[in-house]
Structure 1
Amino acid sequence: MTGGQGARFRALVVDDEPSLVRAVVGYLERDGFLVSSAGTGEDALELARRESPDVVVLDLGLPGIDGIEVCRALRTFSDAYVVMLTARADEVDKLVGLSVGADDYVTKPFSPRELIARIRTMLRRPHIGVRTTASEAPSSITREPASDVRRFGALTVDPVAREVAVEGRAVHLTKTEFDLLDELSGHPRQAYTRRQLIDRVWQSDWVGDEHLVDIHVGNVRRKLGDDPRAPRYIRTVRGVGYRMGPG
């Protein structure tokens, strides 16, 4: 293994186009990643269980089990970052892909260099493993004072434990979804532009469509049971972006 910036990370590339797989695997390996690849969803899930990758590059249009179902299954046992690849540029595919827990999407054809840059940006963020519920947490963990927990009506956000609950019921968010809610809830009443949220959650050197913010906000709202037409938690600021806090 070479000594690139990604030397300590594992990647899994899942696509049924051998030439694309070779290109992406080659770029990742040159950047120091340990890389595995699969051409089917079934093989991808088996490899993911065995190797616990840090990031999965996942084609939406796989034969057999498609990328949507693979991503949904991954989220039952893995907290890896997921970048969805799609040859279909319509927004429906992007929305559906991200609603099952993908962190980003790239539309084919794409530059492998851009893909690697996005992956490296994601992996510079804190990597927190799959969270346990309070009843599963080890007894040795010292809980932070209750005052550190942010409360918005029935919603509680614990930034230290990375736990979210609505009316006492645990809400399971992906890393990206939690990071977005953490940023918004940490500065209530502050209106954020999409670019500001990109800079804080995805990091300032992230490149891509700022529409990604809207998709993740939609995912968080859905999981919190927050109706955007009558929001209780995340509010749309017309012409600006989003904020939390009272209306």
Structure 2
Amino acid sequence: MSSTADDVKTAVIIEDDPEIRHILSEVLESAGFTTVSVGNGVDGVRAVLSYKPLLTTLDVRMPGIDGFEAARRIRAQSDTYIIMLTGLQDEADVVAGLGAGADDYLLKPFRPRELRARVEALLRRARTGPAQPAGSVPETPGARPVTAPLPIARAEETDAQAAATAAASSGASSGEAAGDGEWLVHRDLSLHPENRIVLIDGEDLDLTRTEFDLLAALLESKRRVRSKADLTLVLRGESYVTSYYVGDADKRAIEAHMTNLRRKLGDSPTSPRYIETVRGVGYRLTSEQA
């Protein structure tokens, strides 16, 4: 493929510490990015909308709007990958940052090699469009288009609903493919990994990218327990690679994502229909029998 302006990888660095900005710039430029650095959240949001970056690093504690508010504004209009940076003493910020729309985080002080590894893992994950109402078209300059044209996506969705409904009525077992052989089904819950569609009893379910990836991992594993450390590696794109450090903050982030996923599924932790907690270990699907 010939090189064009669209092939250039751009990263926006939103950080008020000049020394950390310099380190981030060096690491990302060595990874092939062209970088744009700003020192506060307001200018950072503007930079994302102007430069349409593939990646954005975002500090939590900044003058003006903080990193959480900046992440919410960015995520509403862009599907840039967001890595949140927070101090080691502020691990509680991790859960809030992920809830605001960040894809991953790093605790300060961080190792340049770890940042590079996190970036490479993110780039292997599928991107979704910004948080827009279904069928709407972003009007704000700088918003990235969704991966597939909307009319095609809606047509695929219609076929998907019919296939999932048929699979549910035919009693497809947990984790079995349905319809075209690509669906994962558990009870009345159906997930299409390639088209990134989730249905409950044939009705669309709106999940974040992370919630979708967690649910897909559990459906693929059926009744096999997935630990919080294992699910952390799934989100990093490094499944079953044990050389990556998984800390308590990672595990708390998984717990937060699972809480949000269960809420959207209408699932109760005490009497689950889809996902059950294996105390002290992790999560797995419930049995097929009610």
TM-score by length of 1: 0.82
Question: Is 1:16–1:39's contact at 8 Å kept on the other side of the alignment?
Answer: yes
Q: Is residue 198–residue 206 contact of structure 1 (8 Å, CA) maintained in 2?
A: no
- Secondary structure at the counterpart of residue 190 of structure 1: coil
Aligned to 2:64: 64
Shift in CA distance, 218/56, structure 1 to aligned 2, threshold 3 Å:
farther
Structure 2 counterpart of 1:177: 211
Q: Percent identity?
A: 36
Larger CA deviation: 21-30 vs 7-16: 7-16
Structure 2 match to 1:126: 125
Aligned counterparts of 2:9 and 2:259: Cα–Cα separation in 1 = 30
What SS class does the counterpart of residue 89 from structure 1 fall into? helix
Contact 1:56-1:83 at 8 Å conserved across structures: yes
Count of residue pairs brought into register by the alignment: 239
Q: How does 1:1-247 map to 2 (within 5 A)?
A: 9-87=9-87, 89-123=89-123, 125-130=124-129, 137-139=150-152, 142=156, 143=159, 145-146=163-164, 147=178, 148-152=182-186, 155-166=189-200, 168-173=203-208, 175-202=209-236, 203=238, 204=241, 206-209=244-247, 210-211=250-251, 212-246=253-287
- Distance of 2:265 and 2:12 partners within structure 1: 31
The runs of at least 4 aligned residues of structure 1 exceeding 6 Å deviation read 131-134
1:12 match: secondary structure: strand
Unaligned runs of 5+ in 2: 1-6, 137-149, 165-177
SS at match of 2:89: coil
CA distance in 2, matches of 1:245, 1:133: 32
In the superposition, relative to structure 1, how do residues 206 and 36 fare at CA in structure 2: closer, same or farther (>3 Å)?
farther
Judged with a 3 Å threshold, the aligned counterparts in structure 2 of structure 1 residues 110 and 242 are, in CA distance, closer, same or farther, namely same
Q: Which has the larger radius of gyration?
A: 2
CA distance in 1, matches of 2:85, 2:14: 9
1:40 and 1:135, CA in 2 relative to 1: closer, same or farther beyond 3 A?
Answer: closer
RMSD: 2.8
- What TM-score do the two structures reach when normalised by structure 2? 0.71
Structure 1 alignment gaps of length 5 or more = 1-6
Pick closer, same or farther for the CA change 1:64–1:229 going to 2, 3 Å.
farther
For residues 187-233 of structure 1, the C-alpha deviation after alignment (integer angstroms, 9 at most, x for no partner) is 32221123332443421264442414333323323443433333332
Counterparts of 1:53 and 1:222, CA distance in 2: 32
Q: Is the alpha carbon distance of 1:201 and 1:116 closer, same or farther for their aligned partners in structure 2, counting shifts above 3 Å?
A: same
Report deviation, 1:14: 0.8
